[in-house]
A and B are shown apart, each in its own frame.
Chain A
Amino acid sequence: MVSLTSYLIVSAALLGIGVYGLSVKRNAIRILFAVEIIVNAANLNFAAFTRYMNPPQVSGQVIVFYSIAAAAMEAAVGLALILVAFRLNSTIDVRKLNKLKG
């Protein structure tokens, strides 16, 4: 029988991978990958916690439902922003997108 702790540790590992990508990568699309991985780690936590409640509750699944929809919005707007940044600067390297730097 898989325990709740195992799910939480898998989720923590995914969060670590996502934070690593977020802090190290320079390509804007890779940073979007890292954000999606972090959102998935959170979703996994919600699903695991709601499954191990006694009696099992459905509200955690509702939260994951909202979270997946929010992630879809975030990806659409983020990718549109990346396209605009590429059109304006002809690069998506986030360390070169520093026109606002004083």
Chain B
Amino acid sequence: MVSLAIPSDIAFVILTVVTITAAIMALHAKELIYGAVSLAVSFIGIAGFFALLDAPYLAMLQIAIYVGAIVVLILFTIMLVRRDQAPEIDEQTNSESPVGLWLAGLLALAISGVVALAGASLPTGEPPANLQVSDLGPVLTSQYPVPLIILALLLSASLLGALVLAKVER
């Protein structure tokens, strides 16, 4: 088990660096397109975290939905929106007040502090992984069937709503 522990540590550090750097880049890249691409990199990092947490189904779902659907949707919207307006807004992001930075930093520090204080009472040892992807299906359909149906209805309703909203009246 010791030989397995070291690679997972290294993978965790690499994933942390990639995810957080890409998330910062997504908000700070000069061009919106580059921001969307680094948002995709950040989502792939989160998928790596899911794989590290023995949730391969979530990793697959993360890549399929976030990277495959949401980022592509964002890229299409950027292409539809940007004409000559985009550079103007990008310049305006330079005149940011530091209050937001302080607020966010304080929030992250406070949560990290609480987590570090509560660390003693949190479970430390990683219990053995005995879950399979096939365990997810029965729970989803037998234990939570109503939320699944509501989710399906909500998904089709919201996509129809998005279509109606984005439709051009002629």
The tally of residues in B whose CB lies under 8 Å from a CB in A reads 87
Which of A16, A36, A87 touches B107 (beta carbons < 8 Å)?
A16
Which residues, 121 to 147 on B, are CB-close (under 8 Å) to A? 122-127, 129-131, 135-136, 139-140, 143-144, 147
Majority-rule SS of A interface residues: helix
For the complex, what is the distance from the CA of A62 to the CA of B131, rounded to whole Å? Answer: 13
B168 — which chain A residues lie within 8 A by C-beta?
Answer: 87
Q: Does B20 contact A (CB under 8 A)?
A: yes
B53 — which chain A residues lie within 8 A by C-beta?
Answer: 7, 47-48, 51
Between B43, B103, B104, B151, the greatest number of chain A beta carbons within 10 A of the residue's beta carbon is seen for B104
B50 — which chain A residues lie within 8 A by C-beta?
Answer: 44, 47, 64
B19 — which chain A residues lie within 8 A by C-beta?
Answer: 10, 14
Q: Does B14 contact A (CB under 8 A)?
A: no
Between B58, B93, B112, the greatest number of chain A beta carbons within 10 A of the residue's beta carbon is seen for B58
For the complex, what is the distance from the CA of A27 to the CA of B159, rounded to whole Å? Answer: 23
A48 — which chain B residues lie within 8 A by C-beta?
Answer: 49, 53
Which of B26, B131, B151 touches A33 (beta carbons < 8 Å)?
B26
Between A7, A32, A61, the greatest number of chain B beta carbons within 10 A of the residue's beta carbon is seen for A61
B3 to chain A, nearest CB (A): 12
B65 — which chain A residues lie within 8 A by C-beta?
Answer: 68-69, 71-72
Which residue in chain B gives the minimum CB-CB distance to A95? B92
For the complex, what is the distance from the CA of A17 to the CA of B65, rounded to whole Å? Answer: 22
Which of A15, A23, A91 touches B111 (beta carbons < 8 Å)?
A15
* A43 close to B46 (CB less than 8 A): yes
* A68 close to B61 (CB less than 8 A): yes
Q: A37-B42, A73-B155 are in contact. List 5 more A-B contacts (CB 8 A).
A: A33-B74, A36-B39, A68-B61, A77-B165, A79-B74
Residues of A with Cβ closer than 8 Å to B?
1-10, 12-21, 23-27, 29-30, 32-34, 36-37, 40, 43-44, 47-48, 51-56, 58-59, 61-62, 64-66, 68-77, 79-84, 86-87, 90-93
Task: List 5 A-B pairs, minimum CB-CB distance, nearest first.
Answer: A16-B108, A20-B104, A24-B100, A23-B100, A12-B111
